[in-house]
Amino acid sequence: MPTLPWTVPNTPPPHTEVHVFASRFETRTLWGALRFFFKTPGVWRQVSRAPGAYGATLKAQPLRRTFWTLSAWESPKALGAFARSGPHGPTARSLSRQMRDAKFVSWTARSDDLPVDWPEVIRRLS
């Protein structure tokens, strides 16, 4: 699973400001990477139906134990509601002990500029 394609659960209005969120996770072990990998489908299904989600993708390098996420939201409140509900909340808590490093960044962008390209995401997470 190198990169999941940009998925648009809800089409954002044109010319609007959106909340962009990106993360980078590195697991302690390959076992942790496998756990992350196997828990991804449940969270992916959740984001594909999430209110206020304007798009999401995941880039994975499981053998390097590294995963990046990128999503765009109607607002920080919509992102927060997603993060606390459904499979995401319990999954994040259960995987937290597997993480060696985690980094998060958010910013605003225009809906017309979605999806943000991976070089920009990686630059912001560096």
Number of domains the chain contains: 1
**E strand map for the chain:** 3-7, 17-27, 53-61, 66-73, 99-110
Judged against a pLDDT cut of 70, whether residue 27 lies above it is answered with: yes
CA–chain centroid gap for 92, Å, is 12
Quickly count: other Cβ atoms within 10 Å of residue 97's Cβ: 10
Nearest CA among 79, 70, 75 for reference residue 18: 75
**For 59-74, how does the pLDDT look when each residue is reduced to its tens digit (9 = 90+)?**
999 899 999 999 999 9
Structural domain including 76 reads 3-125
Contact (Cβ atoms closer than 8 angstroms) between residue 27 and residue 36: yes
CA–chain centroid gap for 109, Å, is 16
Q: Residue 1's pLDDT band (boundaries 50, 70, 90)?
A: low
**For 28-46, how does the pLDDT look when each residue is reduced to its tens digit (9 = 90+)?**
999 999 999 889 899 999 9
Q: What is the CATH number of the domain that holds 109?
A: 3.30.70.100
**For 10-22, how does the pLDDT look when each residue is reduced to its tens digit (9 = 90+)?**
999 999 999 999 9
Q: Which residues pair with 111 in a beta bridge?
A: none
Q: Residue 2's pLDDT band (boundaries 50, 70, 90)?
A: confident
DSSP state of 8: -
Tell me phi and psi for residue 31, to 5 degrees: -60, -45
Q: Tell me how far apart the alpha carbons of residues 81 and 95 are, in angstroms, rounded to a whole number.
A: 19
The overall longest dimension of the chain from CA atoms, in Å, is 43
